[in-house]
Structure 1
Amino acid sequence: MTFPQMRSSGERERPDAARPRLTRPGRADPSRHRRRWYEVMACLVLLCAFLGPVPRAWATPELPAPAGWPLAPEPEVLRGFEPPAQRWGAGNRGLDLAATAGQPVLAVAGGTVSFAGSIGGNGVVVVDHGGVRTTYTPVAPTVAVGARVGLGQPIGEVRGTHCPERVCLHLGLRDGDRYLDPGLLFASGSVDPGSRPRGPVRLLPPDRAVEAQRLAAARKAARERAGAIGSGTFVRPSAGAVTSSYGMRVHPITGIRKLHDGIDFGAPCGSELWAPADGTVVTVDRHPALGNRIVIDHGDIRGHRVRSALNHASSQAVRPGQRVRVGEVVGRVGSTGLSTGCHLHFMVWVDDRLTDPAPWL
């Protein structure tokens, strides 16, 4: 017979916490793992507190290209980009552009509308360009969330107050929660006179930089030649605002970067198209890309043969061989051919070569 071991009267029973913890052979003590985990987490917390948030400036965002001004013609900059020293401080987190009440607001680049509504009593439109977002206020939106928009496409009208002394449009550029200078979207970089661009700067390789300078010089020379020949010769062929200028851009339907060989006027479907000058109608047909078009030969102007074309018409009111006078109705605005909405695509040829129509208007 075995009797339980007796303790002396002076020996106390050890509490459970002081008893040896039994573990299976080859298995670590679980309390040791918990202590190690707590130690690691504490170190991570201290490290994050010491380093602070990782600055997003370390990553240069991809800016949309090509890009254009949100107002036409190119607006006056009333106030440049003035980022506050602290995120909550006072400043100007974008560009304030001179505008008129009711003036069409244009998307500066292709993207998707991510917000169209009211904030603080003013209308706001936000367009997501994949890497960054552009914001427009005060605006009465004419687009819905989820809509795809192209460069120069109307997204609303200026309506509301932002600048204290006159009507203006505030254009913002954001990369996540970070505000960038919207002037970086345009060829001139920061548009704040006398200042250097603030924020990420895209540098071109030497070969592309030389090519960009060559193209810019060629475009400038072409504009000067055209201006010398035809400045003020034409009247506007549509009452709509200019929504896309002549130059290189990504086609809103094909996605191909190519020359936009004319000027687009955003106008309501069915509105009048006018002959820009006296001339003879030489073509009235339907083109696969340009839709219903009307080509007018204006004859000799200052020693140069000049023709113009009005494209994407919903209807044509003239016939080949017909003489037309300046301002005469020759058709109606439409969206025929490769088009994302009702507008006029206006083209000009000088001596059988396409040119920028702007100096002629």
Structure 2
Amino acid sequence: MKIRTCRGWSLPAMVLAGLLLVLAGPGPTSAEVRPGRTGWPLSGPIEVARPFDPPTTRWGAGHRGVDLAAPAGSPVLAAAAGTVTYAQPLAGRGVLVVDHGATRTTYEPVTATVPVGTRVTAGQRIGTLQPGHCPPRDCLHWGWLRGDTYLDPLRLGGAAAAPGGDGRVRLVGEAQREVAERRAAERAAAAAAAAAGLGGTGPPGEHGFVPPVAGPITSPFGMRLHPVLRVTKLHDGTDFGAGCGTPIRAPYPGRVSQVFFNPGYGNRLMIDHGTIAGRHVVSGYNHASSYSASVGQQVAQGQVIGRVGSTGYSTGCHLHLMLWLDGEVVDPMSWW
């Protein structure tokens, strides 16, 4: 099977949509045991649109799987024999998980063709690829985990994908390397700014939004083991590491639509930004110690609306940023 790495694919500043079970650990070693006979989750030539890029820290930003380019509607195949343990939509995207015993594989966005509890064999069709991942193209986000540790799924694809194999994959193309280096520099600068207590939050993103706090992303949007509840659930926003009392600033002009307390999210505030690029946009801020803006108030971009805290289900001071497009919760970093 031919494998090639897609070049020239531009990554957004922090694209982490569709990540599954986000409590990352170190990558696999050469001694990693594969679950019996394994193969690719797609038929035909394999094109790696975005490679495995595990974070350097447990809560750091990274890419905890691989994106394989394929047209929407393509059959999705089980990479190894196992039991389907999850097969349903989550945050508007179909997610499917196959348990192989010591490890499990994840597939999204997928419309499942087999129900939970089905025993499947390697290469058996388990779903159909949905559109929407890796825009403007379509692709499958494929993950492989042992417990809470993310492994490189390319090792399951066969000898051609294994390091040192005849068809060794070049995991990082030049364009991707440049983007990765730039992202690393941006994260380092943000962390330095946060440590120094600087007020600036960074330049605006694609839609004119600026980061609400100066600080690194400590937990991205996606499935993860909840640090307080200890259950696997969707992390429905992006966490920014920031000290207690750090100013939270409005990322874009809008009207404060809600301010209230929730046992899980702590002190919450929502800003309705109206229609932008044809989408109704609402942003949300959680776990704050307090808010200085009130319901109905018009806020300007960069205006302080509150202070970072640790209210609700939280293990320490941070900002949990959320975003809704047309009423559907999405990865905030897909908009910034």
TM-score, scaled to structure 1? 0.44
Higher helix share: 1
- Between Structure 1 and Structure 2, whose CA radius of gyration is higher? 1
Per the normalisation by structure 2, the TM-score is 0.47
